[in-house]
A and B are shown apart, each in its own frame.
Chain A
Amino acid sequence: MSKFKLITDGLIKNNPTFVLLLGMCPTLATTTSAINGLSMGLATLFVLVLSNMAISAIAPVVPDKVHIPVYIVVIATFVTLLELLMKAYTPAIYEALGLFIPLIVVNCIVLGRAEAFAGKNGVLSSAFDGIGVGLGFTCSLTVLGLVREILGSGSMFGWNFIGGNDGMLAFVMAPGAFLCLGYLMVLFNKFLKK
């Protein structure tokens, strides 16, 4: 499989949010604005690429029965690393995403890619797979965040275009997350089927 196809697969055919429906918890909770969605996506991308590479490198020597615990330890290490780095250098973003950064450990996309791809493929392919799926997640979250931000607070990437705080509040709250996600999923799959 070509490296390029690995990336487009992650973006479109295996899009974690709109096609595989993985990682719904951070998807619904952190996409209150485009910036938050983008940062959450990039944080996951970081963990995904590094854990995919590390896991594909050690997979040949990991005994079958303990492979899940070993993968989780590796993933948790990268997540904690990310957490420390964000606390030190981007405290504002860390605060906005809060609990959802440590929760990347149990994000099923990361363990899912480790199981389904990184454990059976080489380091380079796994890195590209991580980039593809991570970008897919990032784009989905940014789009979802953007739609919710436009409808909910009348702004785009923090730039307010209606002047004032009079958006449709429901879209910033949980019900709006479900509604937007549902409709975006319909749109995405409609174009995918064509």
Chain B
Amino acid sequence: MTAVIEVSDLVVRYGTATALDRVGLTVRAGELVALIGPNGAGKTSLVNAVLGVLRPAAGRVDLGGRVALVPEGRQMFDDLTVEDNLALGAWRRRRAKGARDTERVYEVLPRLAELRGRRAGSLSGGEQQMVAFGRALMAEPDAIVVDELSLGLAPLVTAGLAEHLRRLNAERGLAVLLIEQNARLALDLCSRGYVLEAGRIRAEGTAADLAAGPDLADAYLGGPAGTEEGT
């Protein structure tokens, strides 16, 4: 299968500090891939390098299609309406016919149609995350990078958004790179994953293998698989 996102030997530095040290990662078409890591591991540096916002010191980022971002913290255009936020998501394809037509997003995320005239800054966190999703979909991407899906959201809201992701992946073959601190959520949703720590890939494999592995289980899942305390 062809790679939509191919990162090889990526090095990102801020002055003398190295944020990413020879990181490699692949997301193939139609795949759901998790990137798990604690705060400061370099996850957002990787996102910024993939999106071309940040120039790496070394290494390569090859994109086999259009990649859009659902950024950490939603990053709304607060003063603009939901409709305008969505329309701007199509900026890269603005000259294509019908590129700015938001109806196709409202079909997938009908709740947004009810909010279309509202100022994005006035919405709840969950609603804003949905706008961020819609905005990414407006780019007609082959892959979306979701930076911290669960951050600051109620578990029920996160579960709903995860379900949307699963559906988009299943129905449209949209590849997803899910960047998460919440390892359980990420591994439940994705088939494959990477663990990033202190700027390096510490582990990679199928979600099942990673969840069963001792390092990840101790650090992120509160104990090896199957030993979770009963509730």
Same complex origin of A and B: no
Chain B interface (Cβ < 8 Å from any Cβ of A)? none
Chain A interface (Cβ < 8 Å from any Cβ of B)? none
